[in-house]
Structure 1
Amino acid sequence: MKIGARIETSPCRLCRGIERQVLATRGRGFAPLTTVVCRGCGLVSHHPLPDPAEVAAFYATRYRVAYKGGWEPKRKHALRALRGALGRAGRLAPLLRPGARVLDIGASSGEFTYVMQRGGFAARGIEPNLGYADFARRTYGVAVESGGLEEAEIAPGSLGLVTLNHVLEHLADPWDALHRIRRWLAPDGLLFIEVPNLAGVRKQAANTFHAAHIWNFTPETLRLLAWQAGFVPVAEEDRAGTSLVFRRRHADEPPPVGADPLLARSLAAQVATAGRPLAYLLSGAPVTRRVARLVRNLEERIVCARHATVREMADAAIEAAWPVRAGEARLPWFGAPA
């Protein structure tokens, strides 16, 4: 199958169109991987789509070893996850009622669950990878269950917040997942989703697409998927990105616009131009990325060396980001990590 080829396949879950265009035939590490864009709406996915049972088995045992190099996170990876968790908590905690029930799906090594628990929320997580879920329980003492959404026992209407941080793109069936989550949320409950924004990627095509990301979203396709599942962004959200807080939509709210043939053509052109090796080299990104990575790694080594354990490192970061105020029984907000 050649790049640019047009094929017909099963109807798109987003727009029901059957025509796809091949964007790439190799993924990360130049491994064979066919990626296509729906010419009707711009939704990008693997072709063919993987078997859900194979996806579940991969994430339970092999994913973290393949992408992180171990059965549990290295200390620097825990630090990165912790900093991301503090940032999300600072954004989401002010939107919730005190003590709200929070579920982090794809909880990884448990940092967000721990931060929200420290904030006074009834936080729990679900993590398919057995090693990372075990690490979360042992290290932070949090309720992170091993398994997928299908195995989770959640009472309908019981949750104030569900988070999917860089998870939706990995799921075999995002539509089923979001419908399931909608049943779990209280009427005023919120859903947080963050996924990579394909429209903002400037990499070689071979590094843009990889086996772990079954779906590649843009703001337009993410919002339409959420709308189909019964969600719309809250009014304050910047809808030009793919990190969004959603609420339940009302019956009379129309679908979002922008997931259309024009988006599909734009993405195909982007991959065909910016994704070429020479264009990527001339952009200067290989140099700037490498320098940024070296600086980050040095800073992370310094921070990690200050603490005897990962738990101690997490507690220090939380206390620095969330200072105690005199006379307050609980801490009402999170700031950016120091």
Structure 2
Amino acid sequence: MSERVQITATNKSPLLLIVTWLLLVLAAFAYIVRSIVKLSRQAMRLEWDDYLLTGALVFCTAQSLATIIRAADGFGQPLALLSTAKVEASMQAALAASILYVLSLALSKISLLALLAKLSPNRRHRRVMHGIALFVAVFTSISVFVVSFSCSVPNTWDYTSGRCINRPLWWTFFDVYNIATESALIVIPIYIIGLVQWPLARKVVFSIPFVLRTCTIAACIADMLLWHRLSSSPDPFFAEWPVSVTTQTIQCSCLASTCILYLRNFLSSVETGFGLDGDLSASIPLELRTATVGRSGYNLSSEGLTGSASMPGQIKVTTRYEVREEVYTVLGGGHETETDQEMMDRRG
């Protein structure tokens, strides 16, 4: 009879396996639900944000599998209890997992930025989102290089040799970057929603998926604290297992919070095309689209545009014009007023 593997004070590998599998399944489920909802509403039309998010899921899955391999090789146990071969295999898997983690986060963020840039009718907003996406891409390239060569060659994966960069400091800096970009992905969409002419309750509901990204920020803060505690640990290899848990949480929450925008129940409560690749201009304040023609008295502020999110790309436009009929009278000379119709008949 085989011995049951238990979670003990010196064996956190089973716990790491459970958490990794659970978070990976949740992220994959969110992606599948998003894909089903979007494809069913858009007649199998895929766009850049879909491809980017698919890439994020692929890297997320690969990163989780690398973490599972680490746990199978003894990661989560004290260094003294493991053989040299298992320690080396665990550190090699850690290097691969770190690179995949950086790439997965980048694609998740850029996917959401691409979606927001596509939906916003404001050119200045799109420039801001493109600028953030460029920053994320550049920082990701630098991060991949730093992570790949964080230790001296040829064994760049061997962080127990002591000839490496300050890993706690680097990952703390990376968490600061994550917090900054996640904050931007919360503030910018909510700011845009604030410009839309919706009731306050609807604005709150539509802001919820973006506010949920605060879970990623909370995980980043926890990750920073754990890296700080790890820097003073007598056994950094064993003390790193909680960091791996927060890493999985950051990665999966970032991906899932992007997918939640396409939940069917949420989309059905939105009456404009914002949530489904529509045009926000239908809900931008009317004074931005108002034109008044001097003395003629024509005011286009009576124009109203309403959008419908029942199907993407099908926005119903209703235009209402107020027609005022005025009768002018000419006093004097005892003559009665001549109406517009009589004047036209006389001229004809």
**TM-score in same-fold range (> 0.5):** no
More helix by share: 2
Please tell me the TM-score bracket, short chain as reference.
under 0.3
Task: Work out which of the two has the higher radius of gyration on C-alpha atoms and give 1 or 2.
Answer: 2
- When normalised by structure 2's length, the TM-score is 0.26
- When normalised by structure 1's length, the TM-score is 0.26
